[in-house]
Structure 1
């Protein structure tokens, strides 16, 4: 089994995460050479405006050993709690009026776009006046506020996609580790794999086997065998798997598009019509050569259409590989960092111990990796949709 591609992307993944957020967790996950790119920024939203009352039901989605994961203050028990007014509003809509969720999302994105564009317009109109500095500062604050809000909107859309396949996100791991052991139940492997096509799923299974060290045809007994793993390493695997899912979504769509466009450059109908119209003007050898060319082109077209995604991806040069793997927006970069920090962070200390080693089963590791890959795939879809209504900041 060839693991080169998955390993390469895992090693390259930090290069595609130029960050604007400084986290102690990310200092551990990424090499020191990337730390200078992180800028201090508070993730606490100061907005207190609530459009609707938000209820807070308790949801249990995992357990560790003999201890249930404790409920959090989050209404949805997600690792990352929406802090903006838009995020809290969509959380309420999801719980109380689920059928209106996508309508509410579209409305929120349009309102955010109007707020941001309005502040920018006033800034340009006041250029040269005494109030120019004030309006420039207002526009900067509005940009920051809208960016946090749209990240919450993206997160809620991803959460909605998980709910459609009946898979709850794993809550904060600090609540699921009991006596140094982590177990996530139920596994939900089938549901997490069902969102992918056959060829993509083959590559995902190879990736899972690579990062957790379990054979593809392992038995149930092997899956429930326990292993020790450092939380730092688990965090690296989770973040890299999100990026791998994002990459596979981009690469598979590119592959599909190129297969659809794989048609001969010539017009077979025109070629046949020309030969029948002027049979005497073409020598026999030339006719034979043209028929051979047509046959070869048709054979080449069929071979292209049958080319597997894995072979297609392995043929990428460095530039194409980076283009498919690189996150397109800064909002996506920030969201991965926030979600990873929330999942592996500690409510009290803000960060789990650097060198903490936990005991867990291969089944739980596979659940985390499959969730991360699905998160990356959903992020790609959601980013495309949100960008059509609210122009996201490009990730240079």
Structure 2
């Protein structure tokens, strides 16, 4: 039986659900790298195989841009975001140029030439997709390094004498990136997927428990999607609250104007009333909205809203989750779960894995928005 984690529908069918909102600019928009070509060629020297492996991540860069940026990240960190912006622009230009040549060739009388350009465009698009996934992965790695947390390496490197232990846990660093309401929902998630008790003592946290490798991989992948969903939902909640405050400060005539542009459906969903009839009514609704916590807000989602918030928006993001999960839990050479062995571990180590996965999903949301503003990602 093929236990590869790259099948999303097997891992998390209930979470295959798109956010329609744009992120804050979570990554600095750097100016064009001066003398980029000459600078790049001088930096490529540091992107050796030894430098790449020192990142100690489950997934290693496969493309030349990925290997180049890995070297920049390790040796000239201050130039990383500048180099990322330059690489994304180059990848977008390369792909667009190949597609343009393909489209021009359709007007050519030679069918063989058209086929050649189409094949070149397909290969270039595939090459660029692999490179963009590498760029996204390194941006996520950078976000983890900002909070001084290392991604868990391949599980095979963390198992000693048949027991999986992840140390140091760095739980507090992985928790501090979330606000209080999101953190409360993450704790509920930990209880649901692991049976973790918030008030458990040290003995209970480090007691030996057993879990199948494939099941742990499923929990990890689903937790990435949960982190992605929480980031999307919390931003949507914040935007809706901001809109309610705006309505409270506007004259009633302007409030009705906002609704006429369709903002009702965009932010509040299709089931709300068409417009507030008075400032007093708007004020009371505002107070009700402010009392609504994130958990209650999410529980009130209709199926369409839930789908928009929880579905990975791009094919590149889907591939990244699958490949990272396979690299982490699979065989070091094949990336497949060839054996569904039983792993001895502790609740503390499993909690560390889930917290990392949730943070990975949150960072993925930020990264996808940033990269998508420069490079046209494929819609999922």
TM-superposition CA deviations, 1:143-186 (whole Å, max 9, x none): 00000000000000000000000000000001211232100000
Q: 2:378 matched to 1:393? A: yes
Whether the 8 Å contact between 2:5 and 2:217 is mirrored in structure 1 is no
Task: State TM-score, norm by structure 1.
Answer: 0.77
For the pair shown, the structure with the greater C-alpha radius of gyration is 1
Match of 1:344 in 2: 329
3-state secondary structure, aligned to 2:53: coil
Match of 1:223 in 2: 205
Matches within 5 A, 1:322-361: 322-348=307-333, 350-361=335-346
Match of 1:139 in 2: 121
**92, 103, 126: which one aligns with 1:113:** 92
Whether the 8 Å contact between 2:6 and 2:323 is mirrored in structure 1 is no
Gaps of 5+ in 1: 1-22, 35-48, 59-72, 271-291
Match of 1:165 in 2: 147
Match of 1:372 in 2: 357
Match of 1:52 in 2: 45
TM-superposition CA deviations, 1:90-148 (whole Å, max 9, x none): 00000110000000000000000000000011111121322111111100100000000
TM-superposition CA deviations, 1:314-367 (whole Å, max 9, x none): 000111111111100000000000000000112246434533101101110000
Structure 2 CA distance for aligned equivalents of residues 246 and 33 of structure 1: 13
Structure 1 CA distance for aligned equivalents of residues 11 and 216 of structure 2: 19
Distance 1:30 1:266, change over 3 A: closer
Structure 2 CA distance for aligned equivalents of residues 132 and 381 of structure 1: 39
**282, 285, 310: which one aligns with 2:295:** 310
Structure 1 CA distance for aligned equivalents of residues 334 and 79 of structure 2: 38
**267, 270, 275: which one aligns with 2:251:** 267
**184, 187, 190: which one aligns with 2:166:** 184
Whether the 8 Å contact between 2:105 and 2:117 is mirrored in structure 1 is yes
Structure 1 CA distance for aligned equivalents of residues 211 and 293 of structure 2: 34
Structure 2 CA distance for aligned equivalents of residues 82 and 32 of structure 1: 24
Gaps of 5+ in 2: 14-40, 255-276
Q: 2:121 matched to 1:123? A: no
Q: Give, in angstroms, the shift of residue 220 of structure 1.
A: 1.9
TM-superposition CA deviations, 1:218-267 (whole Å, max 9, x none): 12222111211011110110000000000000000000001111124972
Q: Give, in angstroms, the shift of residue 293 of structure 1.
A: 5.8
Distance 1:27 1:51, change over 3 A: closer
Distance 1:349 1:379, change over 3 A: closer
TM-superposition CA deviations, 1:16-66 (whole Å, max 9, x none): xxxxxxx741378754998xxxxxxxxxxxxxx9943424568xxxxxxxx
Task: State TM-score, norm by structure 2.
Answer: 0.80
Q: Which has the higher contact order (CA 8 A, sep 6+)?
A: 2
Number of aligned residues? 325
